[in-house]
């Protein structure tokens, strides 16, 4: 057996470099658009430029709220139709009725091959395989109108509208059902490293450690009286603002400061012209090291071929 050299390494290297250059992140935002059946999901780049209007293939929903991404698939909770729909991240419907018979689904979170669904009306969280098969439709019970959810490692953090954040193992076992208390109608939650960010209807986003310690309960001021859902990408927080009526909704971007409990910069008009934005999800740009290793691995496999 001998090893021969791939004859066009330069062309291959150029192709792989192009893959690195074109790698990008995405922001998905669901909007109500005023009427059942008109709601949809739109797509933007991480710099706020529009990729796809909230129309087309990811439209025709009733009241989309929570969203979560796994690989090339986007999962959307529709509170009016009591279901979870699955779409590719490019907008192609996979199964618009992946999970049905829910009870006010709002929050979604994914860990590995499992989808966790928060049912606002029944106060429960259910667990499903990503193909829609139930694992335990009543994994966690006795909650108080659960809104948002976020996963860090093996822990699930749940927002209770009564004013608390609870922490649970992914098997449903409570770690601390009252990890954070005294909140004023909390709605959204995001995680970056060891820090939790929680939005409230009283008009604040607070920062806490994942152990429950308060870092800055008034980190960011937001409009009052809204369900401000959020998504976190590293040091960037993206927050929905439903105020403003038809076309008056927006997404704000906040860059966290190097010191915990601070904000370095903000752009409250990051994305504008939305009609009641609800759910939001971010697909980050792949890490450069990951991309580089994957590309070098592919290059090595193609540069060296075995012949008998």
Q: What is the pTM of this model?
A: 0.85
Question: What SS3 class is residue 161?
Answer: coil
Radius of gyration over alpha carbons of the chain, in Å?
21
The CATH number of the domain covering residues in 24-285: 2.130.10.10
* Residue-level pLDDT at 285: 73
* Residue-level pLDDT at 202: 94
The structural domains of the chain, with segments of one domain joined by +, span 1-23+287-308, 24-285
Where do we find the tokens 């996963």?
A: 151
> Distance from CA of residue 9 to its chain's centroid?
39
Q: Which two tokens stand for residue 96?
A: 């618009």
| Cα first-last separation, the chain | 5
Residue 195 pLDDT level (bands cut at 50, 70, 90): very high
**pLDDT surpassing 70 at residue 7:** no
137-147 pLDDT, tens digit each: 999 999 999 98
Among 269, 244, 243, smallest CA distance to 254 is for 269
């Amino acid at each position: 057996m001998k090893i021969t050299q791939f004859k066009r390494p330069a062309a291959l290297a150029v192709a792989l470099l192009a893959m690195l250059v074109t790698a990008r992140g995405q922001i998905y935002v669901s909007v109500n658009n005023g009427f059942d059946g008109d709601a949809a999901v739109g797509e933007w780049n991480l710099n706020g430029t529009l990729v796809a209007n909230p129309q087309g293939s990811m439209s025709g929903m009733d009241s989309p709220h929570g969203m979560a991404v796994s690989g090339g698939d986007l999962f959307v909770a529709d509170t009016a139709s009591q279901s979870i729909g699955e779409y590719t991240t490019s907008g192609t419907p996979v199964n618009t009725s992946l999970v049905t018979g829910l009870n006010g689904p709002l929050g979604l979170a994914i860990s590995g091959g499992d989808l966790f669904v928060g049912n606002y009306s029944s106060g429960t969280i259910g667990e499903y395989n990503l193909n829609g098969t139930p694992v335990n439709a009543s994994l966690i019970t006795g909650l108080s109108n659960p809104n948002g959810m976020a996963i860090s490692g093996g822990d699930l953090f749940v927002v209770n509208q009564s004013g608390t954040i609870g922490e649970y193992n992914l098997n449903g076992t409570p770690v601390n059902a009252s990890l954070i208390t005294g909140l004023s109608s909390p709605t959204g939650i995001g995680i970056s490293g060891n820090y939790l960010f929680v939005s409230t209807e009283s008009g604040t986003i607070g920062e806490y450690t994942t152990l429950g310690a308060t870092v800055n309960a008034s980190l960011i001021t937001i409009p009052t009286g809204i369900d401000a859902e959020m998504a976190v990408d590293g040091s960037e927080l993206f927050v929905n603002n439903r105020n403003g009526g038809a076309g008056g909704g927006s997404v704000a971007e906040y860059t966290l400061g190097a010191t915990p409990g601070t904000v370095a910069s903000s752009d409250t008009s990051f994305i504008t012209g939305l009609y009641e934005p609800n759910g939001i999800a971010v697909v980050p740009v792949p890490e450069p090291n990951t991309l580089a290793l994957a590309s070098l691995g592919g290059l090595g496999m193609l540069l060296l071929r075995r012949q008998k």
